[in-house]
Amino acid sequence: MFFIWLLVKLITPFTKIHVGDFGDCFYDDDDNTIYIDLDIDEGRFRENLATAHKYETNLGLLIWTILHEIGHHFTYKYIDENEDEVLRLVYKNLFKKKLITEKTWQDLYYELDSEWEATEWAINFIEKHKRLCKFFNKMFEVCVC
């Protein structure tokens, strides 16, 4: 847990971080808090990275998740939050009513402006800080998971 806290504080010193059983990982813009669930499922995240973002990596899911959530902190102000939230709810309801498949729901979710921008931010951060990311990835493999 220490290394999760340390990575977040290095990048965003004033962001709060909670690690626990939340059923999901997310960034709360209202109170500038990142929530990390260590038991999250990768889903189609890596496939989305390779196909939509044209990016492949060996870094683990935990560092990606943390950087993606930090990416929300830096990119949220550039998106239309209302449109993003409406689309998020529409996609979720279409899936719940079995009008779209889980694959389609995940693909649409990853295309939301907020998700796309946060992932792009994470990619750019990794490219600019490869050694730092490799170090933290190793620490997460050894100490957290």
What does DSSP assign to residue 61? Answer: H
Q: Check if the beta carbon of residue 135 is closer than 8 Å to that of residue 6.
A: no
Q: 52 to each of 14, 127, 145, how far by Cα in Å?
A: 31, 17, 28
User: What tens-digit pLDDT sequence spans the chain (145 residues)?
Assistant: 889 999 999 999 988 888 888 778 888 888 888 998 888 777 778 888 989 999 988 899 999 999 999 999 999 888 998 999 999 999 999 999 999 999 999 999 999 999 999 999 999 999 999 999 999 999 998 885 5
Nearest to 32 by CA among 52, 18, 46: 18
Reported pTM: 0.89
25 vs 38: CA distance, rounded Å: 9
